Amino acid sequence: MELFNQIFVDPFVTMYELPDLLLQTLWEGFVSGTLYSLIALGFVLIFKASSVFNFAQGIMVVFAALTLVGLHELGVPAYLALLLTLGVMYLLAFSVERLVLRHMVNQPDIILFMTTIGLTFILIGAGELVFGGEPKAMITEELGLPTGSSDWDVFGGIVIFQHIDIAAAVIAFLLILGLAIFFNKTRIGRALRAVADDHQAALSVGISLNQIWVIVWFAAGIVALATGIMWAAKSDVSFALQVVALKALPVLVLGGFTSIPGAIVGGLIIGFSEKLFDLYWGVPILGGGTESWFAFIVALLFLLYRPEGLFGEKHIERI
């Protein structure tokens, strides 16, 4: 009976009694949700265009952030460093296409997947070699990102909004909006969707797959850089960050591997649910620490009952 109360009664009583705490949790869930969405978005972009599950997406986030901070440490002004980092991400996309994908055409998906694992270690090695392995602080202020926080008096309590979180949400929103426009309104975007639909047909109309791959990997690189900046601003730039990127996995299972809206909604669901669960159920019943695994349980449930995810692309089949 006590357990029943703990599961079905107490959490909701707490929510009702301390609405400011609930609001605070929702906000935190929202912010981490947008970041999960962004990481998942990087995966989806590459998966759609080349059916490669890019295991290296997580390390790309770290690598991008590390390059940015590292360049700044070398005395490069912040904005210039940002531009240079974009250049580095382009170079990365270009070399991945030239050195890896081009030679892997027609290989089974699992081989490509293994290749991206290899890429992960190359990026870890290269990052450590050039910029060192110790954690660095993100150059938040130098980039003109807001710091500090605002309090909001509400429901007899206060809710704290970190300014960097607000900025993260806004930037994520703009990035997603930009990608949506790019995909639906531009020539290249249309070609990207065409490639996602049918590689052979795309080739036959003269779309160059090599060019498309460079573009998607670069787009994924940009997304990785944005995620890296936001995430590192909340903690540090360190290789431990890539573990966070693994959270994108349940997000993808939830949203479907091929759906951009799915990545966004999936990210938010995971963000909200893991924060709420940890605070209201995890801490009182299990003693906390549920955030690291809760998302995977949700993913497992989804795999059992809806393996194509919420928004997974349905096969159009004429009868």
Residues forming the site for another protein (CB under 8 A): 105-106, 187, 190-191, 193-194, 196-208, 211, 313, 316, 318
CA distance 151 to 245: 30
CA gap 46, 54 in Å, rounded: 7
Phi, psi of 245 (to 5 degrees): -65, -25
Return the number of the residue (148 or 318) whose C-beta is nearest another protein: 318
To which H or E segment does residue 149 belong?
Answer: strand 149-154
Give 69 or 207: the residue with its C-beta nearer to another protein: 207
Which 3 state secondary structure label does DSSP give 161? strand
Q: How far apart are CA 207 and CA 202, in angstroms?
A: 5
Nearest approach in angstroms of CB 313 to another protein is 7
* DSSP assigned state of 103: G
For residue 72, the one-letter residue type is: H
**Minimum distance of another protein from residue 53's CB (angstroms):** 20
Q: Which is nearer to another protein, 228 or 262 (CB)?
A: 262
Beta carbon nearer to another protein, 204 or 287? 204
Q: Which two tokens stand for residue 272?
A: 């909200």
Specify burial of residue 144 (Cβ count, 10 A radius: 0-12, 13-18, 19+).
exposed
User: Tokens 């703009």 — which residue?
Assistant: 174
Smallest gap from residue 108 Cβ to another protein (A): 13
Q: How far is the CB of 191 from another protein (least distance, A)?
A: 5
Q: How far is the CB of 91 from another protein (least distance, A)?
A: 23
Residues 101/104/108/113 CA torsion (nearest 10 deg): -40
Residue 206 vs 287, nearer CB to another protein: 206
d(CA 58, CA 72): 22
Minimum separation from the CB atom of position 199 to another protein (A) = 7
CA angle 155, 160, 163 (to 5 degrees): 140
Q: Which of 105, 303 has the CB closer to another protein?
A: 105
Q: Identify which of residues 144 and 204 has a Cβ nearer to another protein in the complex.
A: 204
Residue 190 beta carbon to another protein: minimum distance, rounded to whole angstroms? 6
Task: Tell me the C-alpha distance between 225 and 235, whole Å.
Answer: 15
